[in-house]
Structure 1
Amino acid sequence: MTLDLSSRRIQTRPPLAGTDRGAASQDALTGLRVSHVVAPLKAALSDAKVLTGRQTPLVQFDLLVVEAQSETGATGMGYSYTLRAGGPGMFSLACEIAPRILGEDPNDIGRLWEKLRWQVNSLGRGGMAFQTIAAFDTALWDMKARRAGLPLTKLLGAHRDHVRIYNSEGQYLQASIDEIKAAADRSLALGMGGIKLKVGQPDGQEDLRRIDALRTHLPDDVAMMVDANQQWDRTYALQFGRIVDELGLAFIEEPLDALDFEGHAMLARELATPIATGEMLTSLADAVQLMRAGGCDIAQFDAPRIGGISPFLKAMSFAEELRVDIAPHWMMELQVHLAAAYLQEPWVEHFFSLEPVFNERLEIANGRVAVPSRPGLGLSLSDAARDWTVSRSAFGEISRL
């Protein structure tokens, strides 16, 4: 039997996305420059995964930098990163997708994020694909805030002009107790409000000795956190957490595998010490799943890893609804803008090794970091970062970059 469709009509229309430019379009991207920067660390860093042989010591970090300009003269810069591996791959992917947004209105950030996402859809929804998109997304947000003459956090809607800050760099596992104390003293002299200690030693008693030594050394009004870097199983993490519960730690970070949402939720229910995790997640979907499971008291989502500022803002809105605190991971020059736009009092993580990449420095005092007053992210690449650039490609007209 032949079906007669002549008198049948579909009553609804399929959703349209990525439609042609209309009267509301006011600008167009005319140039993009993509750079791969390999920034060395002054000293190798080792966490729990290094001691178990799963990772090598961290000796450098790779940045993917995207600089953009438009036909009206607006410019913006964004970046993403990877540790230990993947830098050349991110650079190659960025060069492949960059030409596909030339000519687009840079104000249409959400639409361009979706366009780039569908270019890399075969690579999966997350991982390196989204981390590469993050550099473009951040450059567009930087451009929009610069065009408005506002710091990014003011464009987003700030709740505060300064944020609590803690340092993580001097207390890795390769450091002795004396070195940990000395590094903490240097951080406190610079105005840090908290110190985070790496844990996850093969001998748990050594972790406890180091925790006791640092907590005794620090003033009572200085926060202390510990970070296990996904080292433990549920049974060990619960036992360890109960032992340190009475110390008043600000949080225990990544006690379990990053994707063990249910296990982190169990610890959050059982322990008085807040559970912090989320830095390794690379998509909004995973971030939402973690929070729905009750898997964190403190969400540590990382804007470059999660796909950029656009998905981070969506994760932040979900966290606000659930009254989850946030302490964004790494990249403090970017994360301070996002943390300052969060309803509840956040933390920002500080690393000295990130500072040489940019000309500007964050202002830190009395345990807090000030949000920069410069437009956009308020950042420019340093001469050192230009010297550390191992690959660079340009697309379109870049005369103003």
Structure 2
Amino acid sequence: MTTTSVPVAAPAVLDRIESVTLSSITLPLPTGISDAKVLTGRQRPMTEVAFLFAEVRTEAGFEGVGFGYSKRAGGPAQFAHAREVAPDLIGEDPSDIGRLWTKLVWSGASVGRSGAATQALAAIDVALWDLKAKRAGLPLAKLLGAHRDSVRCYNTSGGFLHESIAQVMENATRTLESGVGGIKIKVGQPDSAEDLRRVRALREHIGDAVPLMVDANQQWDRPTAMRVGRALEEFGLVWIEEPLDAYDAEGHAQLARSLDTAIATGEMLTSVAEHYELIRTGAVDILQPDAPRIGGITQFLKLATLADHSNLQLAPHFAMEIHVHLAAAYPHEPWVEHFDWLHPLFNERLETHGGRMYLSGRPGLGITLSEQARAWTVDRVHVDASR
């Protein structure tokens, strides 16, 4: 009788988290930024962005970097919460990202599973995914399973309301020449006729073939959104973004049923559960989640599965350094938002040409912090087994 030996699996090779370094970094903006929230008196012009960076290092010498952010208030709260829960990572296997996310959520369970609490976890979660991809020697999109090596991209940073329409048109020309494919401008001013004048002027300037989007930043009520939305139909927009309050799922659903132009929203929501309400009610044609705002990549992947199941388009908000990877791994052709604000923070640049943003061949997210970012650090804490 012939006996067959059964191979015995070798023990898993484990690594352990040795340290976590958290940095609060304030990025100054060259010009105060105004959208409709400023013109309606709800906010002041934005002059800086607060970033929370997490650098996770293992005993084997691997390191992952991730970040979250807050525009205006909230940055110090994110940093403080991350500092409190980070010690719970020391000695853990960095591969067990889902379990670690849950562990950190329960570390701060009394402050909930959305908002600043989970935004603080996002920087750590992104760092763990960056670390995992680096250990595999792969760009993050390839680790997740990419559907494409480039993603359609559009620019927002040149379309704010503090600039004249002449300047916005000049910005659009420069943006398109740089290889970015679409242009988004801000609307939602108290005088909607002025919004329509700006959209018309830009559409005539860039031509009918260039993808054009508008963003009202939640400043319309339901009747205004319906009236202006119908007036905007003639411009062939890709979408109308945040026409209503971010939590008005019923109102967004009414617009989505009534208008030919797609309705996009989701960037201000801070959990998968909040986004699911938009999906469940048919309130959105194009979902716009923000990985740092909903708790990181682990939560983004859960939401992407729900969006895919409902055959929704995806256009992640801001943080293109993270979202280009997540969008490349989404089954349906997505969009990524191009912002040049973050350029000073990193040593690398994403490539754009032919209307698309390209993945790099660098492992992980493919980013490293610049010396300028280090110079803008306002608070820092290093957590290891000695603490």
TM-score of the pair, normalised by structure 1: 0.92
- The superposition leaves residues 153-202 of structure 1 with CA deviations (integer Å, 9 ceiling, x where unpaired) of 00000000000010001111111111111111110110110000100111
Q: Kindly report which structure 2 residues correspond to 1:93-132, keeping only aligned pairs within 5 A, or say none.
A: 93-132=81-120
Q: Say whether residues 1:267 and 2:258 are aligned partners.
A: no
- 1:72 pairs with one of 60, 71, 74: 60
- The superposition leaves residues 244-294 of structure 1 with CA deviations (integer Å, 9 ceiling, x where unpaired) of 112210000000000001111111110000000000010011111111111
- 2:158 pairs with one of 134, 149, 170: 170
Partner of 1:356: 344
- 1:374 pairs with one of 362, 378, 382: 362
Matched length: 376
Distance in 1 (CA, whole Å) between partners of 2:60 and 2:275 is: 36
Tell which deviates more after alignment, 313-322 or 84-93. Answer: 84-93
- 1:222 pairs with one of 189, 193, 210: 210
Partner of 1:276: 264
Unpaired runs of 5+ residues, structure 1, are: 1-22
Distance in 2 (CA, whole Å) between partners of 1:160 and 1:389 is: 35
Q: Kindly report which structure 2 residues correspond to 1:280-319, keeping only aligned pairs within 5 A, or say none.
A: 280-319=268-307
Q: Say whether residues 1:242 and 2:230 are aligned partners.
A: yes
The answer on whether the counterparts of 1:25 and 1:105 sit within 8 Å (CA) in structure 2 is no
The answer on whether the counterparts of 2:240 and 2:264 sit within 8 Å (CA) in structure 1 is yes
Q: Say whether residues 1:161 and 2:149 are aligned partners.
A: yes
Partner of 2:321: 333
One-letter amino acid of the structure 1 residue matched with residue 94 of structure 2:
P
One-letter amino acid of the structure 1 residue matched with residue 115 of structure 2:
G
Partner of 1:87: 75
Change in 2 beyond 3 A, CA 1:264/1:25? farther
Distance in 2 (CA, whole Å) between partners of 1:320 and 1:238 is: 27
Distance in 1 (CA, whole Å) between partners of 2:274 and 2:332 is: 22
One-letter amino acid of the structure 2 residue matched with residue 196 of structure 1:
K
The answer on whether the counterparts of 1:132 and 1:307 sit within 8 Å (CA) in structure 2 is yes
- The superposition leaves residues 82-139 of structure 1 with CA deviations (integer Å, 9 ceiling, x where unpaired) of 0101111111111111111100100000000000011111112200001000011000
- The superposition leaves residues 329-351 of structure 1 with CA deviations (integer Å, 9 ceiling, x where unpaired) of 00001100000001111000011
SS in 1 for 2:341: helix
- The superposition leaves residues 31-51 of structure 1 with CA deviations (integer Å, 9 ceiling, x where unpaired) of 110000000111111011101
One-letter amino acid of the structure 2 residue matched with residue 95 of structure 1:
R
One-letter amino acid of the structure 2 residue matched with residue 203 of structure 1:
D
The answer on whether the counterparts of 1:42 and 1:353 sit within 8 Å (CA) in structure 2 is no
The answer on whether the counterparts of 2:90 and 2:385 sit within 8 Å (CA) in structure 1 is no
- The superposition leaves residues 282-310 of structure 1 with CA deviations (integer Å, 9 ceiling, x where unpaired) of 00111111111111100000000000000
The answer on whether the counterparts of 1:226 and 1:253 sit within 8 Å (CA) in structure 2 is yes
- The superposition leaves residues 333-391 of structure 1 with CA deviations (integer Å, 9 ceiling, x where unpaired) of 11000000011110000111111111100000010000121000000001111111001
One-letter amino acid of the structure 1 residue matched with residue 283 of structure 2:
G
Shift of 1:63: 0.5
Change in 2 beyond 3 A, CA 1:319/1:111? same
Partner of 1:9: none
Partner of 1:202: 190
Partner of 1:386: 374
- The superposition leaves residues 221-255 of structure 1 with CA deviations (integer Å, 9 ceiling, x where unpaired) of 21000000000111110111111112210000000
Q: Kindly report which structure 2 residues correspond to 1:43-58, keeping only aligned pairs within 5 A, or say none.
A: 43-58=31-46
Change in 2 beyond 3 A, CA 1:214/1:222? same
Q: List structure 1 runs of 4+ shifted beyond 6 angstroms.
A: none
TM-score of the pair, normalised by structure 2: 0.96
| Percentage of matched positions with identical amino acids | 56
Distance in 1 (CA, whole Å) between partners of 2:318 and 2:64 is: 21
One-letter amino acid of the structure 2 residue matched with residue 29 of structure 1:
I
One-letter amino acid of the structure 1 residue matched with residue 139 of structure 2:
P
- The superposition leaves residues 4-36 of structure 1 with CA deviations (integer Å, 9 ceiling, x where unpaired) of xxxxxxxxxxxxxxxxxxx65711100110000
Shift of 1:149: 0.3
Distance in 2 (CA, whole Å) between partners of 1:188 and 1:44 is: 24
Q: Say whether residues 1:232 and 2:220 are aligned partners.
A: yes
Partner of 1:20: none
